[in-house]
Chain A
Amino acid sequence: MVAETTQERQPMLSVRGIVKRFGGLTAVNKVDLDVYPGEVVGLVGDNGAGKSTLIKCVSGVHQADEGEIFFGGARVHIAHPSAAREMGIETIYQDLALAGNLHVGANIFLGREVKKEYLGGVVKVLDETHMLTESEKVLDSLDIHIPSLTQEINNLSGGQRQAVAIARALYWDARLMIMDEPTNNLGVVEQRKVLSLIRTLRDRQVPVILISHSIHDVFAVSDRIVVLRRGRKVTEKVASETNSEEVVQYIVGARDDTREEIPAN
C-alpha cells in the first residue's frame, strides 16, 4: 500500500531491523524505515518512543546492536557522526550547532574553511571573500535573505538560524537531511518558512526525515508518516491517506498495525 508510489525507485536510505538497547531497555526494536529521493518522511511518536535513538543510529551517534543500514543502495556501517556527514547524511539537531559569536559565512564554512595560499602554501589565510560569496549563493538558492552575512549568528532570529543551518548542510552536499524538531521555539511565520525550506529540499530530491511533536507541521510537509511507539514502528501511512486524528491514535497506542498482524499469523 505504502510502496505504491515509490516502488520503482531505489530508497536513498533503507534501515532494516534496527535494534538498539541501553542496558535492559530496548529503545528501538526491529524497526524498518525507507526514505526515497524527493520525499519527506515524518517520524512521530510520544516521548521515549525511540525516534531520536533511531535517527542517532543513522547519524552515527549510536551504533545499532542489530540490523542493517543501506545508504544509496550500499550497505554502510556508520561508526561516527563525521562518517555519516561524509556520506551526505546531515543531521540538524534542535541546538543547530552554530557558533553564535561567528558570522553567517563563518558558520556555513565552519571546520571546512577555504584558504588562500601565499609563499607556495607556507602561509594560508582565510579567504573570506570566497566564503561569503559562496554563502550568499547557497542562501539565495534557498530563497533566504539575510541582510548581512557578516552578521553574528547571535543577532539573527530563530528562523534565520535554522535557515543558516539548513543552508550549511545543503552547501556540503547533503543527500539526506534529518531534522530534529526544526520548528521548536519559532514564531508562526518563521515556522512556515522552515516548512517551506523542507519542501524546497524535497523538490531538489534531497529527502528529509522530519521529527516533530507538532502533528500539524508533520502533515504540512510529509509525504509519508511513520509512527513509533515504545521502540516499535506501529504504522506507516501515506500522509494524504490518513489524518491527524488517526495518527494520534497510533501515537497513544489506541491503534497498532503490528498488533493486528499478530493474530493473523
Chain B
Amino acid sequence: MAVDSQREAALQPVAPKRLTGMQQFVLTVSRVWGWVFLFLLIVFFSITGTGFLSLRNSQNILVAIVPVLLLGLGQTFIIIAGGIDLSVNYVMGLASVVMALVIRDLVANGVDETLAILVGMALGIVAALIPGLLNGLIVAKLRVTPFIVTLGMAFVARGVGYLLSDGNVVGGQPPGVRLFGNEALLYYIPGDGGGLYFLQRPEAAGEQLRVLERIFPWPVVVLAIVVGFGIFLLSKTQFGRHTYAIGGNREAASRAGILVDRHTILLFVMSGFTAGLAGVLHTARFNGGSAIAGEAQLMPSIAAVIIGGVSMFGGVGTIWGTIIGALIMAVLQTGLVMLGVESFWQWIVVGIVVIVAVLIDQGRDLIKGRAEAQLSE
C-alpha cells in the first residue's frame, strides 16, 4: 500500500507548485504580446499620425502584406517542420514573369482575354511548383539541408526569371490583368450621392473618383482565402499534426508511420504554390511581370514568421502568429512614414522587433522550464 501510494506520487505531479504572480504575469504577457504590441502600435500611430486610422490606410496595409504573408505562409509550414525556404522570393519573381509572358503572347495571338489571363495565372503557378518540387525532392531524397538547397534554388529561379524576361519587366498586358490586381470586392463613396457598392465598381468622376474607397481588393480576398485554408490545414487536420510532429521529433514521426519524405516534399511544393500565387498577384497589381518581383520580400517573410513566434528549431508556431508578425511590420512601416520619420528608420525598428520577439520567446521558455522543474520536484 505504501509502495502504491509512492507510485501514485510519481505520476501525480506533485501538486503543481503555483508559479509566482510575477512568473504568471510574464508568461501570460509573453503569450499574447504580439496582439498587445500590434494594438499599442495602432493606438500610437492613430493618435500621432494624421490619417493612420482611416479606411484607405487600413486597405493600403492589407495590400502591402499580401506578398509578405503569402511567402510567410509557406514558410511557416516549412519552418514548423524544421526546414526553411530561401527560394520563395525569386520563385515569386519567376511566376510573375511566366504569367506575364503567357498572357502577353496569348493575347497577341488573338486568344480571348479572360482565357489568356486564366491560363497565364495557372502556368505562373505551375512554374513556381516546379522549383518547390525540386527543393522538396532534393531535401527529402538526397538529404541536403534545406538552407543550402533553397539558397541554390533561389539563384536558379532568379536566373531563369531573368532569361525568360530578358531582364526586363514583361508588359503588354490586357486590361483585365490590372483590374484583377487593383479592383475590389466592395466600393465606398462617402458623402452625398455615394454609398456602398458590392462587386460593381460605381461610375465615379472628379471628386467622387478621388474619394472612392476600394475595400478588400481582390489580392486581399485571395490572401484571406488562402490564409484561412492554411490555418485550417495546420491546426485542424492530420496534415497539420504531422507537420508539427516532424518538426518536433522527426525520428519519432517516421517510426510512428508518418511518411516524412513525402510530407517534406509536399511542404516545399506548397511553399512553391504560395510563392507562385504571390507572383501572380504581383503581376496583376503592377500590370507586368518581373524576375525580381519578390526580391525584397524574403527577409520580411521570415521576419514575420519569427515575430509570430515560430521557432527556427521547428515544432512550434501558428499561422495567426505569422499574420500578427506581418501586420506588426506593415503597421510600423506605414505608421513611421506617416509620422514623417525618415523611411530608413523602419528597417532598424523592424530589426529590433525581430530580436526582441525571440528574446521574449526565450524568456517564456525559461520561465516554463523553471515551472516544469518545480512541477517534477
A99 B11 Cβ-Cβ under 8 A? no
Q: A100-B248, A189-B6 are in contact. Are A106 and B11 (CB under 8 A)?
A: no
How many residues on the A side are at the interface (Cβ–Cβ under 8 A)?
36
The A/B interface has a contact count, at CB < 8 Å, of: 97
Q: Enumerate chain A residues within 8 angstroms of B237, measured Cβ to Cβ.
A: 115, 124-126
Tell which of B8, B10, B240, B245 has the most Cβ of chain A within 10 Å. Answer: B10
**Secondary structure class of chain B's binding surface, majority of residues:** helix
A95 contacts the other chain (CB 8 A): yes
Nearest residue, chain B, Cβ from A195: B7
The reply to whether the CB of A157 lies closer than 8 angstroms to some CB of chain B is yes
A88 close to B (CB within 8 Å): no
State the CA gap A190–B9 with chains docked (Å): 9
Q: Which residues of B contact A133 (CB under 8 A)?
A: none
Stretch binding the partner chain, chosen from B102-110, B252-260, B264-272, B336-344? B252-260
Check B185 for interface membership: any CB of A closer than 8 A.
no
Mark contacts of B222-257 with chain A using CB atoms, 8 A cut-off: 1 yes-contact digit, 0 otherwise: 000000000000001110111011011101110111
Within 8 A of A (CB), among B202-234: none
B248–A101 CB distance below 8 A: yes
Q: In the complex, what residues of B have CB within 8 A of residue A125's CB?
A: 236-237
Give Cα A39–Cα B349 distance, bound, in whole angstroms.
Answer: 66
Residue of B nearest to A191 (CB): B10
Q: A81-B255, A155-B372 are in contact. Are A192 and B7 (CB under 8 A)?
A: yes
Bound Cα distance A30, B10 (Å): 41
Q: Does A231 contact B (CB under 8 A)?
A: no
Check if B142 is an interface residue, CB within 8 A of chain A.
no
B11 touches A111 (CB 8 A): no
Q: List the A side residues contacting B152 at CB < 8 Å.
A: none
Chain A residues near B251 (CB-CB < 8 A): 95, 97
Having A97-B256, A99-B252, A189-B6, one finds 19 other A-B pairs with CB under 8 Å, namely: A85-B257, A97-B251, A100-B315, A101-B249, A101-B316, A102-B245, A106-B245, A113-B241, A126-B236, A126-B237, A126-B240, A145-B8, A147-B13, A154-B372, A157-B10, A163-B11, A187-B10, A190-B10, A192-B6
Subset of 13 A-B contacts with CB under 8 Å:
A97-B255, A99-B248, A101-B244, A101-B247, A106-B245, A115-B238, A124-B237, A126-B236, A145-B12, A147-B16, A155-B375, A189-B6, A196-B7
Cβ-defined contact, B11 with A159, below 8 A: yes
A73 to B13, CA, bound (A): 43
Name which residue of chain A comes closest to B242, CB basis.
A111
In Å, the complex CA distance between A193 and B13 comes to 13
Within the complex, which residue of A82, A192, A196 is in contact with B257, where a contact is CB–CB below 8 Å?
A82
Residue of A nearest to B250 (CB): A99
Tell me the smallest distance from the CB of B186 to a CB of chain A, in Å: 28
A residues 105-122 touching B (CB-CB < 8 Å) = 106, 110-113, 115
Residue B199 at the A interface, CB < 8 A?
no
| Pairs of residues from A and B, 4 with the lowest C-beta to C-beta distance, nearest first | A111-B256, A101-B248, A101-B315, A99-B248
**B16, B253, B255, B256, most chain A CB atoms within 10 A:** B256
Say yes or no for A177: interface residue by CB 8 A criterion.
Answer: no
Q: Considering the complex, give the chain B residue whose CB is closest to the CB of A147.
A: B13
Instruction: Write out the residue numbers on chain B whose beta carbons fall within 8 Å of the beta carbon of A113.
Output: 238, 241
A159 nearest CB neighbor, chain B only = B10
Chain B residues in 8 Å Cβ range of A82: 257
Known: A101-B316, A126-B237. A144 touches B244 (CB 8 A): no
When distances are taken between beta carbons in the complex, the residues of chain B under 8 Å from A95 are 251-252
Q: Does A27 contact B (CB under 8 A)?
A: no
- Complex Cα gap A159–B8 (Å): 11
Q: Is A212 an interface residue (CB 8 A)?
A: no
Which chain B residues border A98 with CB–CB below 8 Å?
249, 252
Q: Are B258 and A157 in contact (CB-based, < 8 A)?
A: no
> Is A135 an interface position by the 8 A CB rule?
no
Question: How far apart sit A163 and B11, CA to CA, in the bound complex (Å)?
Answer: 9
